[in-house]
Amino acid sequence: MKTAVITGASTGIGEACARTLAASGWQVVLVARRAERIAKIADELQGLALPLDVTNVTKDDFEAVEQCDLLINCAGGALGLDQVDSYSAEDWSTMFDRNVIGTLKMTQALLPRIIEAQGCIINITSTAALGGYEGGSGYCAAKSAQRALTQSLRLEMKGKPIRITEVLPGMVYTPEFSLNRFNGDEAKAKAVYEGVDRPLTGEDVAEVVASIAHLPPHVNIDEIVVRPVAQRGQYALHRGELGWHEK
């Protein structure tokens, strides 16, 4: 049985990845700060819960993980939607810690075991890493840094039996992402997805992640951009019916 370590596993894309991989026979290790939440999910999936803050992890935190075939760095998130001249520097620092430093420290803690297993690292960044948008300076900067980390790591692992992949999702509806971004303001969070016909779900992204994980060990997907049909680009979002019909 292969083992996957998944950060941000208490909700959203991370939780969906844990559930999807467990359903296809993987042993899953769930990493997140909310101990009670991941313990419940791990119990359902017969997995292991490790309540950790990814910004502070060390190798010693993973003594209970005997092998690691796959690391999914999914912990992160956005805070605020302010313009550069008024953005909170504290929010910027938090986003960098969660998205970039967390990915760095998780990679450093588990990289030797992943190489030994001839495994894979999948970093969940965002299409925000591909260019800026109004109010997105902090999140775009953090995701761009995570993207740069991923690209550098892939080159540094030349000559090693390990795959390094970046998954860049576009608009994904998850229960907490926008709610956290707007500090619990439900109206603002709801407005992000208003009128969008079938945004991606965490499960959609998890299916992409699982398909990459199940490829032969010599096949590397460098990067893959995943958007809903309603979103053709960063500024090409259709709000309204698309005329879907059941097949």
Residue where the block lists tokens 């190489």: 115
Q: How far apart are CA 228 and CA 236, in angstroms?
A: 11
* Active-site position among 139, 173, 193, 235: 139
Helix locations, the chain, DSSP H = 12-23, 35-45, 89-96, 102-116, 137-156, 177-181, 186-193, 202-213
Class of domain 3-237: alpha beta
Extents of the domains making up the chain: 3-237
pLDDT tens digits, the chain, 247 residues: what are they?
999 999 999 999 999 999 999 999 999 999 999 999 999 999 999 999 999 999 999 999 999 999 999 999 999 999 999 999 999 999 999 999 999 999 999 999 999 999 999 999 999 999 999 999 999 999 999 999 999 999 999 999 999 999 999 999 999 999 899 999 999 999 999 999 999 999 999 999 999 999 999 999 999 999 999 999 999 998 899 999 999 988 7
Locate 220 and state its tokens.
Answer: 């590397």
Is 173 among the catalytic positions?
Answer: no
Locate 189 and state its tokens.
Answer: 């969070």
